[in-house]
Amino acid sequence: MSVLQSKLLTGEQWLRHGFGTAESDNWCSAYTNLKQIHSDLVFNVDGLRGCIDRGDALLTSEPDHWVGVRTADCVPILLADPAHRVVAAVHAGWRGTVSSIVTKTVDRMTREFQTDPAQLLAAIGPAIGVCCFEVGADVARQFHSDSRTIDLPEVNRRQLEAAGVAPSRIDVMPLCTVCSGPKQFHSFRRDKELSGRMVSAICIGN
């Protein structure tokens, strides 16, 4: 297993993308990124390169401009607007999910590029699954949940749907970074400080 691709996004010839694994740490070495802080901060990075600020989501309308996020259990989400040729990469940990970062990214795309959420394509990559994400009562309360296990990918899928993205245009990869094992995915919950990070990135092709 090296770089994973969403079947939904692969069908778009104008796109390039990938979700990294433990075997593909350096698959996308030149991409614009952020110092991730588990926030709801979204940046338009047109005209910018490198690590540009503190935040957790990036969008661009520039061809050949990779934008990406790093994860090791948090939810990586790649968004693409086929009509206006805009893409985004989102890092949604539990704090970012509670703050609806993916919804705010869709809103930013709508405001700045006239994106129609109903036409968006969304791919949710490998992340900690409900099978392995047990939380304390304080975190569960922030999700308005009586359960101590939280399904982060599903919460983000629901947020996308609530933002107007058609269910048929949301692809969720059912792969848990924790229980799939260290040969497949990095996991902070499993490996703590020894864990690496995986890059998920997207780009408008020339």
Of 1 and 205, the structure prediction assigns the larger pLDDT to 205
Name the DSSP letter for residue 56. S
Give how far Cα 166 sits from Cα of 50, 85, 158, 161, 186, Å.
Answer: 33, 18, 11, 6, 30
CA 164 – CA 76 distance, rounded (Å): 19
CATH for 7-204, among 3.40.605.10, 3.40.309.10, 3.40.50.620, 3.60.140.10?
A: 3.60.140.10
Tokens of 153: 């990918």
Q: In what order do the strands lie in the sheet with 198-204?
A: 15-19, 198-204, 67-71
Query: Which residues on adjacent β-strands are paired with residue 54?
Result: 35
For the chain, the domains span: 7-204
By the 8 A CB rule, do 201 and 28 touch? yes
CA 51 – CA 199 distance, rounded (Å): 14
Q: What value does the mean pLDDT take over residues 175-190?
A: 93
pLDDT of residue 1: 53
pTM of the model: 0.96
By the 8 A CB rule, do 66 and 30 touch? yes
Q: Please, which pLDDT band fits residue 120 given cuts at 50, 70 and 90?
A: very high
